[in-house]
């Protein structure tokens, strides 16, 4: 294509500016699929973990400042469709922000301050629908965004219209903050249950310590309905053995329902093999609502590709025991 003289200089200037700026683009994600038996005694073929595709990048702006972005979508490996009806296209995250010596700020949709960090205190990373004791019961009474999905249903974990801050690490300590504009999915202010119950300002804070031998987390949040959630996590690592513990209390303001959760799990790595076991219990309004015992083993062919087997027993009220088990394969890229 031939450039007109009037356009040549501006375009060459932009090209030169782009060449001087140090920028990067990463494409990654996880493809996971397995055959498993769910709590309804139905055999399923699909992700046991979460399949996702992520686009992220940075641009060096000089002076220690960088622009950042992250786009993450989740999909069903067995059909290629988006993960769930009613979820936004970029369900995982859609943010743009700035990163510098004082930390990073992101704007958009992302995991809140608590749920962006709590995965460190479960042997499965709260990322396995069969064996993880955290999967079903953490934050049970706490929708992070009560109307956060495209169809107006609650979103557990992520904030729309969000603002997120992550501090630098100071001798292993870091602070994470989150809040959001009081809008529903159509961008209009809305009340928790009508005009007489206006939204409150949602916020979350997490204080974390991450070290080689141990890690700890203390977090508290409130959503736009006034529901609250508190979380404490601990992890101890001795060589190839890691032990995880977590306590969570979530309260729904409108119903005064309180869920209390305790989970314990362990991981032992032996070469390419990782052995995991876990236990969890949730009491809902003073009555045991679920107990989970899970176990799993995975084998890593490489840093990216692994196969795994999971089993779990879940007990519900009325001595309703249900067994889950499955085998899967995951490839990270």
Give the residue extent of every domain in the chain: 26-332
Q: How confident is the model at residue 19 (pLDDT cuts 50, 70, 90)?
A: very low
**pLDDT (average), residues 165-189:** 83
Q: 120 with 242: CB under 8 angstroms?
A: no
Q: Which two tokens stand for residue 136?
A: 């079903």
Q: 234 with 214: CB under 8 angstroms?
A: yes
**pLDDT (average), residues 313-331:** 94
Interval 218-270: pLDDT, tens? 999 999 999 999 999 999 999 999 999 999 999 999 999 999 999 999 999 99
Q: How confident is the model at residue 87 (pLDDT cuts 50, 70, 90)?
A: confident
Q: 269 with 276: CB under 8 angstroms?
A: no
Question: Of 155, 26, 140, 161, which is closest to residue 83 (Cα–Cα)?
Answer: 155
Q: Which of 17-21, 284-288, 295-299 is predicted least confidently?
A: 17-21
Q: Which of 64-73, 107-116, 312-321 is predicted least confidently?
A: 312-321
Is the pLDDT at 186 greater than 50? The verdict is no
- To the nearest whole number, what is the mean pLDDT of the chain? 90
Residue 203: the pLDDT is: 97
Q: Which residues of 214-227 are buried (b: 16+ CB within 10 A; e: fewer)?
A: ebbbebbbbbbbbb
To the question of pTM greater than 0.85 for the whole model, the response is yes
Q: How far apart are CA 45 and CA 36, in angstroms?
A: 7
Residue carrying the six token digits 């890229």:
333
Write the DSSP assignment of 203-248 as a string of letters. Answer: EEEEEEEE-SSEEEEEEEEE-TTS-EEEEEEEEEEETTEEEEEEEE
* Domain 26-332, CATH number (from 1.20.1250.20, 3.40.50.12160, 2.40.160.10, 3.40.50.620): 2.40.160.10
Q: Is residue 71 within a helix (H) or strand (E), and if so which, with residue range?
A: strand 65-74
Would strands 228-238 and 214-222 be described as parallel, antiparallel, or unpaired?
antiparallel
**Residue 42 CB contacts under 8 Å (≥ 6 apart), including other chains:** none
Percentage helix, strand, coil for the chain under 3-state DSSP, each rounded to 5 = 5, 55, 40
Q: Is residue 69 within a helix (H) or strand (E), and if so which, with residue range?
A: strand 65-74
Q: How confident is the model at residue 183 (pLDDT cuts 50, 70, 90)?
A: low
Residue 9: the pLDDT is: 37
Is the pLDDT at 321 greater than 60? The verdict is yes
């Amino acid at each position: 294509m031939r450039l007109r003289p009037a356009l040549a200089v501006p375009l060459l200037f932009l090209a030169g500016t782009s060449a001087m700026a140090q920028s990067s683009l990463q494409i990654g994600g996880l493809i996971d699929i397995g055959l498993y038996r769910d709590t309804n005694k139905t055999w399923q073929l699909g992700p046991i973990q979460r399949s996702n595709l992520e686009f992220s990048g940075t641009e060096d702006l000089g002076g220690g400042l960088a622009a950042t972005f992250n786009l993450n979508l989740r999909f069903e490996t067995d059909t290629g469709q988006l993960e769930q009806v009613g979820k936004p296209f970029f369900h995982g995250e859609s943010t743009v922000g700035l990163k510098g010596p004082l930390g990073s700020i992101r704007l958009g949709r992302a995991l809140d301050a608590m749920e962006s960090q709590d995965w460190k205190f479960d042997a499965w990373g709260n990322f396995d629908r069969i064996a993880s004791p955290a999967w079903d019961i953490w934050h049970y009474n706490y929708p992070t965004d009560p109307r956060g999905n495209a169809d107006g249903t609650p979103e557990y974990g992520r904030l729309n219209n969000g603002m997120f801050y992550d501090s630098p690490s100071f001798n292993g300590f870091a602070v994470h903050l989150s809040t959001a504009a009081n809008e529903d999915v159509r961008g209009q202010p809305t009340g928790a249950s009508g005009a007489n119950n206006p939204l409150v300002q949602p916020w979350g804070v997490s204080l974390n310590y991450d070290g080689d031998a141990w890690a700890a987390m203390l977090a508290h949040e409130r959503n736009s309905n006034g529901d609250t959630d508190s979380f404490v996590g601990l992890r101890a690592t001795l060589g190839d053995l890691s032990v995880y513990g977590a306590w969570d209390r979530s309260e729904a303001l409108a119903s005064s329902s309180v869920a209390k959760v305790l989970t314990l799990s362990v991981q032992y790595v032996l070469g390419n093999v990782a052995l995991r076991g876990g236990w969890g219990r949730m009491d809902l309004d003073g009555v045991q609502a679920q107990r989970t015992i899970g176990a799993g083993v995975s084998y890593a062919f490489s840093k990216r590709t692994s196969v795994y087997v999971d089993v779990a027993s879940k007990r519900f009220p009325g001595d309703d025991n249900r067994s889950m088990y499955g085998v899967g394969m995951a490839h990270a890229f």
